[in-house]
Chains A and B, each alone.
Chain A
Amino acid sequence: MTGKSGASVLLLTFARRGEEQAIRDALAHMRSEIPDADVFAVGTPVSAPLLQEAGVESVIIYGAGRGARAVVRESRSRRPKAAAIIYWEPRLAGHLKLEALALLAGARVTHRFPPGSDARPVGRLGLMSSVASKSAKSLLCAAAGAALCGIAFACLLVSQTLAGGSRARRS
C-alpha cells in the first residue's frame, strides 16, 4: 500500500500512553519530508488504536499469533522509503529492537526522534553501526551479569562447603 507519491514511511514507536504528541510531531515532520507518503507503523493490538488516532494510516500487528519474522516480512514488502523512530522509552533494549526493525525493513534513511529534540536523519550505514554498537553493549551486559553470578555461585558454594555439613534435613 503506497501513497500518491508511491512512497511509504515506516513509523516505529512503542506507542505508550503519553507519547501521543511525540507521534503527531514525528508524523508532521515525515509528511513534510515526503509529501503524500503512506505512513504505516508496527504495533500491538493494544497500541494500534493509539497509533491510528494519531494519524497513522495502517498498522502491522505484532503479537496475537504474529511473530517478529512475519512483521519484518510485511514491513519489507511495503518498501518503506524512510523510517521514523521515536525514542520515548529510554532503554537500550527498546532502542535496539526499533533500530533493527528499521534496518531489516530496508528503509534507506531513518529519522530518529529523541525526546525533546529535532529529527536526526541517518543513513543505512549509520543505523547499522548504531545497531552493532547497541548489540555489543547488550552482549557485554548479559555476559557481565552471567559472569557476576558465576563467580558469586562458585564463592558461595565454596564457603558453604568449607563450613561443613548442614544439620538440616534434606528437602
Chain B
Amino acid sequence: MKATVIIVNHNGRDLLAESVPAALAAARAAGEHDVVVADDASSDDSVAFVQDNFPEAKALALPKGGFGAACNTAVAAAESEAAVILNNDVVVTTDFLPPLLDDLGQPDVFAVGCKFLNPDGTLTDALGNRTSGEWQGGLLHIRHETRPERLTETCPQLYPNGGGMAFWRDKWLELGGFDPLFRPLYWEDVDIGYRAWGRGWRVLFEPRSIVHHDQGSTMARLHRPAHIERMSAKNGILFAWKNLLDGARFRRAVAAQARWAADDVLIGGLPPRTAALWWAFRQLGQACRARARERRERILSDDEILSASAGGSP
C-alpha cells in the first residue's frame, strides 16, 4: 500500500527544518512513499525552503484556507491509497509508518492515530492518545488516556488526533474530508472520527507509531490564547449541532446551551460561552446542512458510536 505523508504548514519554516527530514527518513525506511508539504499561504519562505533543501519532498503552495482546507486539498491531490497527515511541529520516528499501514489493512478501518510524546520522550497529557468521549452538559467531552500502561496495545479510539493520523484516501473523500464548518481549526479531527464511526468504520490508536509533538508551538505563535479558547468553544457547539442526532440527548444538549448565557451572567463561567454561542449561531445555515447530511449517512446511533469507539460492541 502506497502512502502520501502530508505535512501541513503555516509560517513554520523553522519547524519544517526538523519535521520534513524526519518524515523523509520514515518514508524511505518504509518503502516508496511520497512526502508533501501543504503550505497554507505562509508569508515566510517555507515553500522555497522546502524546495531548496528537500528536493525529494513536494511543496504545495495553497491559498489561505486554514488547516482543514489545506489537508483536504493535499489529500485530494495525493496519488496513493493511504495518506498520513502531520502537523508541522510533529517529528516522526523512523519506524512510525509500517504499524499505521498494517492497521489500515484490517477490515473497516478508516483511520489510525499515532502515539504522541513530548519532545523529551515523556507522555503528553493533553493530546489525542486513545481518545474517547461522553455527551455531557450540551457538549461532547473528550478524554485522552494519560496512563502509560493503558497505551501499549492497538485499540479503538473515538478520533485520531489531526496532528498525526493515517487513513484510507477513498474513505476520506467519501466522508468529504475535514468539514469547513470548523474553520479555522479545532474539532475537525473529532468530527471526522465521529462521522467515520457513524458510518460503521473504525478508528484505531497505534502505540507502536510514535511521534514527538511540541504541543502548541504552532498554535501559540499564530493565535492568542483567548482566541484559541473561543474557536474551540465555538466548534464544540457546532459539533453538537451537527452530530448529535439522538432526539432526547439533542434536546437536553440545546437546553443546556440555552442555560449557558444565564450561567455566564450569574456565575461568570469561563470560557465565556455566550460569545461562543453567538459565533456558532452565525454558522447555523452551514450546521443545518451538515446535520442533514449526517442524518442521511449515519448508520450508528450516538450511543453506539461512543460505545464502539470505547472498545464495546456497537
Contact = CB atoms under 8 A, between A and B. Distances in A.
Interface of A (DSSP majority class): helix
Given A141-B265, A171-B302, A149 B296 contact: no
Contacts of B284: 151-152, 155-156
Contacts of B246: 171
A145 B299 contact: no
Contacts of A91: 268
Nearest to A148: B281
Contacts of B293: 163
Interface string B258-279: 1111101111100000100110
A142 B261 contact: yes
B299 A89 contact: no
B266 to A, nearest CB: 5
B30 interface: no
B118 to A, nearest CB: 29
B278 A148 contact: yes
Contact of A167 (B277, B278, B287, B299): B299
A145 B264 CA distance: 10
Contacts of A145: 257-262, 264, 274, 277
B267 A93 contact: yes
B86 to A, nearest CB: 33
A28 interface: no
B266 A160 contact: no
A166 interface: yes
B260 A168 contact: no
B94 interface: no
B58 interface: no
Interface string A114-154: 00000000000000000000000010011111101111110
Chain B interface residue number, banded = 35 or more
Chain A interface residue number, banded = 20 to 34
Nearest to B272: A91
Contacts of A21: none
A93 B265 contact: yes
A6 interface: no
Contacts of B300: 168-169
Interface string B283-314: 01001110111011111111110000000000
B187 interface: no
A146 B258 contact: yes
Name, among B265, B267, B299, the residue most crowded by chain A CB atoms within 10 Å (CB to CB).
Answer: B265
A131 to B, nearest CB: 14
Nearest to B254: A153
A116 B304 CA distance: 55
A99 to B, nearest CB: 14
Nearest to A163: B292
Given A142-B262, A145-B277, A93 B304 contact: no
Contacts of A150: 258
A159 interface: yes
Interface of B: 198, 241, 245-246, 250-251, 254-255, 257-262, 264-268, 274, 277-278, 280-281, 284, 287-289, 291-293, 295-304
20 contacts: A92-B268, A93-B267, A141-B265, A141-B274, A142-B261, A142-B265, A143-B261, A144-B261, A145-B259, A149-B254, A149-B258, A149-B277, A152-B287, A156-B241, A156-B288, A159-B288, A159-B291, A163-B291, A169-B300, A171-B304
Q: What 3 A-B pairs come out closest when comparing CB atoms?
A: A145-B261, A163-B292, A159-B288
